[in-house]
Each structure stands twice: as C-alpha cells, then as structure tokens.
Chains A and B, each alone.
Chain A
Amino acid sequence: MISSDIIRGYNDTIILYLLLDAPSYGYEISKRIRSISGEKYIIKETTLYSAFTRMEKNGFIESFYAEKEEGGKRRTYYRITDAGRAYYSEKCEEWNLTKEVIEKFIAKETANGNA
C-alpha cells in the first residue's frame, strides 16, 4: 500500500493516462488503477472525485452523461481535453526528471553490486 501523501501529486497524471484512449467513469477508473498498479494502489472515492472536480475546473477533462450499454444506467463520464493532454505530457516530463534526480539519492542495495 502506497502512502497517499507521496502519490497525491500524481493522481491527476494517473487519471489522465486512463482517459487518453477513451472516456470513462468513476468506478471503472478506480478499478483500473487498482488492477494496473497490481492492487498496490487503491484510490479512495473521495480522492478520485476531488481530482475530477479540480481537473474539470482547470479544463483538463470534461464530463458528460452517457449510458454504458443500451438501457444501462446513466453515469457521468469523463473525457480528456487538449489542455488535459498537454498537462499530461508536462507531468510525464516532470516525473522523468523527478525520478532521475531522486534515483541518484537512493542507496543501492549491496546485493546489486557496488554501484
């Protein structure tokens, strides 16, 4: 289980990634986060909804009502906007940089040789 403090800054990135290919809705997104992370990250409902409202306000995503299948339940779907895609690639670059920097300060285990 990952500490939510650490991952907070990247919730938006995670959600935007899942919206890159197709629009999706709340529970489907939370389920995919869970399975892609190998059950290591379970996003709280309130965290997810808070991210939705914030990103919608910032214009990174748009919401619309739709039915999953014919006659199914109407749900709020979220779709990524162009601004959202731009923000996503920005965050990806930021992460690569962060990773590169932090990595330099992480002690390598002796089992990996004397790196």
Chain B
Amino acid sequence: METLRNYLENMFMNLPVTPEVLRAKQELAQMMEDKYNELKAEGRTENEAIGIVISEFGNLSELAEDLGINDAVRAHDSEMDMQPEGLHVNVQMAEAYLADKAKSAVRIGIGVMLCIFSVVGTILAAAVEDRPVFSTALPAGVAAMFIMIGCAVGLFVYSATKDSVWKELERGPLQMDFSTVEYIKNRKQSYHPTHTIFMTIGIVLCVVSVVPVTVFGILGDRASSGSQNAESMTIAAAASLFIFVGIGVMLIVQGSIRKEAFDRLLNAGGKTVASMSEDPEYADLTDTGKRVMSVYWPCVTCAYLAWSFLTFNWHITWIIWPIAAVFSKVLQAIFIKKEAL
C-alpha cells in the first residue's frame, strides 16, 4: 500500500495544489486502495496487487482539462516531443525490462563470483601439494578452475543473449508518458534500501576478506617460520580471501546492474534525472580525474594480487589497502574541479 501511496504522491508532486487537484488525488487514492484491498483479499501477492492497480490506473493527462492542470502536464509532454522518434515505453514494458535485468544481474553476479572462486582450488592444491597423499590435488584444482571459468563464461553468454532483446530500448532515446516515469522513479525508490544493503555487505565482505590472511600470517610467523602446518594455514586463509571477495563482488555487481537498469530508463526517457550513472563521489572531478579514478581500484587490486602471489607475504601485502585508500583521497583532491572548491 505504501508503494501505491508513493506512486500517487509522485504523480501529483509537480501539480499545483488546488482544491480540485486535492480532491482528485483523494478520490483516486480511495479507488486504488479499494482495488488493492480486494485483490489482496482474493489472495494476490503484494507485488501482483500493486502491479494490477498501477497498470489499470490510467493517465493523468486524461484529467488535465478537468483539473485545470493542462500546463503542468503539457510541460512534461513537450519535453517528450523533443525526441519524437524514440521508442515508446509503457509501464508493462518497463516492468518487464526491470525484471529481466534483475535476473541477468543474478546471472552475471554469480558468473563473476565463479571467476573469483576459480583460483581457490589451485591455491588449496598448492598448500597440500608436497604431501604424497594429495598427489592428484593440483590437477584437480586446475580442473576445478577451468570448470568454474567455463560455467561463468556460459552464464555471461546466456545473459548477453537474453539481454539482446532489449537492445533497442537500451540504445534509446525513449518516449515515456508522465505516469510511466513516475512509476519507474517509484520503483527505483523502493529498490534503494535493497541496493544499500547489497552494496554495504559487498564492501564489508571485501574489506574483511584480508582479515584471515593477516591473522594467520602473523600467527604463522610467531609459531615457527617455515613449519609446514603454519604455511598451509596461511595458504588456506589466502583461499578464504577469494571466497569473501567473490561473494562481496557478486553482491556489488548484482546491485549495480539493477540500479543501472533504473537509471537507464530514467535517463533515456524522463530526462528528469541528470547523468545518475556517474559515480556521485567523483562528480566533482575533472574528466582526467574521472578516468584515473575509474582504473585506480582495479590497478590497486592487481598490484595487491601480484605482490602477494609473487612473494607469498600475505601478512604484509594487505598494507596496500589502507595506503591505497589514503592515496585515493589525495588523487581526488588533486583532480577536483575548480568550481567545486
């Protein structure tokens, strides 16, 4: 019910507050609520009920004349006229696009996770390699790696094929009426908490991923450097790093793809949201700065992995992360736009 209230609220947000408009809003709210309650009573799920109510709601431009809000509605429609040959998108289509994108976000997220997981097998195999019992461990680890990468590639290709039906929509420009834009904005708003949770857990997992290697690295050093057991522990901890990072990245990728789907619709259609796809943290940077920052963290990650694998000093290499975090702020300060100061 909250979603419907927000939907109506957003729809009326830019309209003048006159007695006629208020009455219309109240009446429409009552009708929507009655319909929603009855659908729920018939055993529909929350989402089904909301979907039906919104798809049968109609269009505010129908009321424009009666309410004396012609100007407000026309202002929006004339914005639309500037891109007359755009693909027309209605609520059902936007809904289908968002649902497809959510599914493909899961697939791509799992694919990326498998890619990251794929190294775990070989790391573990390396840990037990010298023991005769595990003589087949390394080939098995390598085989597992290729199987996981294979599955991941399969998922990527499948997603790409599935997504290709939306090629035209994603290329834009799109034509959407007032209520569709409001509907998408509203869906985006209700997705926002989920997005925050995905991103937060994802980032936390990536950060804590270094904890086991650090702890075991230090413990291993103290115990007896060179002891086979301590070394195996460190390597096992290194493997756990990839498990954490894998799950974390999966959540981040999934969250980002779903958010991007909303922004794409809104950017291409409503023109109400200006370049939301840009990372707001870097919004104040010059173009060079944005380019540098976009490759910064991947480079740091590569450096970390390269250093760690070449030296196997997992207990020291983590120091890259705090240094990199500080240095990223320095870079951002260097590349800041003059006007933002």
Q: Which residues of A contact B (CB under 8 A)?
A: 25-28, 30-31, 42, 44-50, 52-54, 57, 73, 75-76
Among A25, A46, A53, A57: residue with most chain B CB under 10 A: A46
Which residue of chain A has its CB nearest to the CB of B20? Answer: A53
CB pair A49 B24 closer than 8 Å? yes
- Let me know if B32 is at the binding interface, CB within 8 A: yes
CB pair A45 B32 closer than 8 Å? yes
Q: Besides A45-B35, A49-B63, A50-B63, 13 other CB < 8 A contacts?
A: A26-B34, A27-B38, A30-B31, A30-B35, A31-B38, A44-B58, A45-B31, A45-B56, A46-B63, A48-B31, A53-B20, A54-B66, A57-B66
Complex-state Cα separation, A48 to B35, whole angstroms: 14
Contact pick for B62, options A27, A42, A50, CB 8 Å: A50
Q: A26-B34, A30-B35 are in contact. Are A45 and B28 (CB under 8 A)?
A: yes
Q: A31-B38, A50-B66, A53-B66 are in contact. Are A76 and B30 (CB under 8 A)?
A: yes
Contact pick for A47, options B30, B35, B62, CB 8 Å: B62
Which residue of chain B has its CB nearest to the CB of A53? Answer: B66
CB pair B66 A26 closer than 8 Å? no
Given the complex, which residues of A lie within 8 Å of B38, measured CB to CB? 27, 31
Complex-state Cα separation, A31 to B32, whole angstroms: 12
CB pair A44 B57 closer than 8 Å? yes
Which parts of B41-63 form the interface with A (CB within 8 Å)?
A: 56-60, 62-63
Complex-state Cα separation, A11 to B56, whole angstroms: 16
CB pair A46 B30 closer than 8 Å? no
Given the complex, which residues of B lie within 8 Å of A46, measured CB to CB? 28, 57-60, 62-63
- Let me know if B27 is at the binding interface, CB within 8 A: yes
Which residue of chain A has its CB nearest to the CB of B60? Answer: A46
